[in-house]
Amino acid sequence: MDTRHIDKPANRDPLFDALRAETNRLDTPRRVEADLLQAFARLHPPRRRRFHAPGLRGWLLAGGLSGLVAGALALTVALQAPRVEVAPQARAVVALDESAPFIALDSAERIAAEPAPRMVAADVPRTSLAALGVPLTPENAGESVRAELLVAADGQPLALRLSTIE
């Protein structure tokens, strides 16, 4: 390291030449470096690798979290599915016409959001069903069609299924 500055004389006192030559060979005993490096190692322990294979504890934690997520998903799906409560008297009618499709009279969201729907059997005038594609002629215009209605708690019809079409 060059530490020379302008206030230094060009030549040092030669009186010290011999002492400089003698002492320049001297260094700190080796044990000091060893002790210091040991102290350094104690103060700075080696860091763990950032990415490493998880142990048993890690796998258990990951499995538990996965199970929780799967359970939460299943619960969410179950809660979002429309719950249809069928009236006891209508259950037999529905059972008879399982293959017949329901015709939605309201939006799917409204039907899914209905907290307590119920099934009601009713005779519906053919004239009311003409818009749904039920055949209507002057001869049968006065007749009724047997139908099953999915009705909201407030009485609003949500869907309809024709059980018999003559």
Q: Under the rule (CB under 8 A), what is the footprint of another protein?
A: 1-8, 12-24, 26-29, 31-33, 35-37, 39-41, 43-44, 47
Residue of 49, 145, 161 lying closest to 98 (CA atoms): 161
> 27 vs 139, which CB is nearer to another protein?
27
Nearest to 119 by CA among 96, 94, 86, 159: 86
User: Where are the extended beta strands (E) located within 5-117?
Assistant: 103-104
The distance of closest approach from Cβ of residue 9 to another protein in the complex, given in angstroms and rounded to an integer, is: 9
CB of 21 to another protein, least distance (A): 6
H or E, element range at 144: strand 144-151
**15 or 78: whose CB is closer to another protein?**
15
Q: How far is the CB of 6 from another protein (least distance, A)?
A: 8
User: Cα separation of 102 and 76, whole Å?
Assistant: 25
Determine contact, residues 150/87, Cβ cutoff 8 Å: no
Between 36 and 73, CB nearer to another protein:
36
Give the residue with the Cβ less far from another protein, 41 or 75: 41
- Least distance CB 50 / another protein (angstroms): 14
Q: To 10 degrees, the CA torsion angle through 166, 133, 135, 86?
A: 20
